[in-house]
Chain A
Amino acid sequence: ETGVTQTPRHLVMGMTNKKSLKCEQHLGHNAMYWYKQSAKKPLELMFVYNFKEQTENNSVPSRFSPECPNSSHLFLHLHTLQPEDSALYLCASSQESGGAYYNEQFFGPGTRLTVL
């Protein structure tokens, strides 16, 4: 595997289900990100982890719970979601999340989530 991978690629869940999205990066990076991509809306940054520490929580509802056990893996745990949470969830990674120089983000293909 190379780059940033995400599983599953598609997920359909009911509002009472609990599911998890997984992201893995094979680039040796130290920062990982979750974004929400809804149709015709700007990409929304949800969470940022830098060296396994959460550095950004962009006012995301508590029904989304991130977990970063190490620099290569990032999870998004989902529970009691709403239909408006249906979207493409993108994971990205970069060498670091900020600093004295630019860190290019590399994106995974996303998980298409549908909440019924």
Chain B
Amino acid sequence: AQSVTQPDIHITVSEGASLELRCNYSYGATPYLFWYVQSPGQGLQLLLKYFSGDTLVQGIKGFEAEFKRSQSSFNLRKPSVHWSDAAEYFCAVGGYNNNDMRFGAGTRLTVKP
């Protein structure tokens, strides 16, 4: 069965520093991979998605993620973090059928001034 592991429960970075959030997945077929962000009091918002093609995908708000099949990973990166990026980030794996989507437990990002 498909599953997602986000090894870091909580990460703190300084504003302006680079960021990498880790995601490892288990999926029997070609995975479709997603990163969502949840700001306090808000629902989840899709940051980016990978289906096929270029393994480096660009998303909104300056985020990018790289799919590495050999490592079963889909890590999220941002070169320079802004205070407004403080939120919870969720990685998810699935397919075209949303019934099959599985989410990780999330990584909470704190940004220090």
Q: Which residues of A contact B (CB under 8 A)?
A: 4, 31, 33, 40-43, 45, 48, 55-56, 90, 92, 94, 97-110
Contact = CB atoms under 8 A, between A and B. Distances in A.
B4 A42 contact: yes
B30 interface: no
B43 A102 contact: no
B70 interface: no
Interface of B: 4, 9, 32, 41-46, 49, 51, 90, 92, 95-99, 101-106
23 contacts: A31-B98, A40-B9, A41-B105, A42-B103, A43-B90, A43-B92, A43-B103, A45-B101, A90-B44, A94-B98, A98-B96, A98-B97, A98-B98, A99-B96, A99-B97, A100-B96, A101-B96, A102-B51, A104-B46, A105-B98, A107-B45, A108-B43, A109-B43
Contacts of A4: 43
Nearest to A91: B43
Nearest to A112: B41
At the interface, is chain A mostly helix, strand, loop or mixed?
loop
A4 B44 CA distance: 11
Nearest to A108: B43
A97 B98 contact: yes
Nearest to A106: B43
A41 B102 CA distance: 12
